[in-house]
Amino acid sequence: MTDSLLRQWITEQRRNGHALCIVLDSENERDIRQSLLKSCQFDQFLSVYGKTPVAELADAGPFIFTFDHADDRHIDELLTHPERNWGWFASIQQGDLPALVKHWQERLIVGVGPNQSLYRFHDNRVLGRALAHLPVDAYPAYLGPAISVCHWQGARWESTDNPAPGTYPVPDQPLWHQVPSTNEQSDQTRMTNAHRYLLAEHVRAYAQLAEQHDPDAWLRDRLAQAAAWGWLAPEQLEFLLTQSLQAPAYTLAPHWQVRPDETPPEHFERVHQATAFWQGEAPL
């Protein structure tokens, strides 16, 4: 779907009396978001993470905007740079913005207990993989009030119509949770969840770290270390992050390094026991 056909999609949706929305990745498009916020009326946008269990991430979370003019310069910039994977377009009934936001708020959290993660619905690549994976009869529960969506799919624009727009409960076993993840998506999800965990459980130490280091770069380094060690279970990641925050100069002691022929579980158990001993919590 070329740029001209994308504009045809926009024209068609407007001709049918639908409101147009931008589902925007606020974290990576802050300048565009701020410009849109300045030009929108108060009822033309909503934060998706606001008033949810992840409200502390609202500033970095997705926003959904309705817009009136397809030739708005902010819209033009997004159309010109689809490779930035900034999000996607949707059409809805007039006045359905709160319903669309509520729909995605109900689908934000994946999993239960310590294995929860955030579903990055606002990423056009996530949306595209889900739509390619789902049968058409699963579109309504996934897209909800959205009448039609249009998104960048690697090298072209694609549009998908929802056969039955409306309000639906979240299925007990959503099919979109079964879509295979790419390495990039898994890495981003792990990064978001780690940031969320530190804000919720260790905000003071995390704030002190930010006075000396770029927290995003530091967090990426820690997660890269966890991946290199094969420490991907939630308890392993939490242990590495909390101990890294407490380490002198944020540098782990030499005994943390993996030994030759040591498996990830053996490595974790050894370091965990040694740390408990040095902190006076257990015998060695």
Burial class (CB in 10 A: 0-12, 13-18, 19+), 261: exposed
Together in a domain, 165 and 198: no
Q: Does residue 146 lie in a domain region? A: yes
Q: Cα separation of 241 and 226, whole Å?
A: 9
User: What's the confidence (pLDDT) of residue 197?
Assistant: 87
Q: Identify the pLDDT of residue 63.
A: 97
Q: What is the pLDDT of residues 240-279, one digit of tens each?
A: 999 999 999 998 988 899 998 889 999 999 999 998 887 7
Boundary-marking domain end, from 142, 164, 179: 179
Give the range of the structural domain holding residue 136, as residue numbers without chain letter: 3-179
Is residue 197, in this structure, part of any structural domain at all? yes
What type of residue is 104? W
Can you give the pTM of this predicted structure?
0.68
51 and 99 assigned to the same domain: yes
The token pair at 125 is 């690549």
In a domain, 94, yes or no: yes
Number of compact structural domains in the chain: 2
If asked whether residues 239 and 144 sit together in one domain, one would say no
Both 193 and 262 in a single domain?
yes
Place of tokens 């990064």: 191
Question: Do 34 and 154 lie in a common domain?
Answer: yes
State the Cα angle at 52 between 42 and 176, rounded to 5°. 105
Residue 97 lies in a domain: yes
Within a domain: 95? yes
Do 13 and 140 sit in the same domain of this protein? yes
d(CA 99, CA 146): 9
Are residues 197 and 140 part of one domain?
no
Q: Is residue 103 part of a domain?
A: yes
Is residue 221 located within the same domain as residue 171? Answer: no
Which DSSP string do the residues of 206-232 spell out, in sequence order? HHHHHTTS-HHHHHHHHHHHHHHHT--
**pLDDT tens digits in sequence order for the chain, 284 residues long:** 457 778 899 999 999 999 999 999 988 899 999 999 998 888 999 999 999 999 988 998 999 999 876 656 777 888 888 999 999 999 999 999 999 999 999 999 987 766 678 899 999 999 999 999 999 999 999 999 999 999 998 889 999 999 999 999 999 999 999 887 666 667 777 888 888 889 888 999 999 999 999 988 999 899 989 988 999 888 899 999 999 999 999 989 888 999 988 899 999 999 999 988 877 665 54
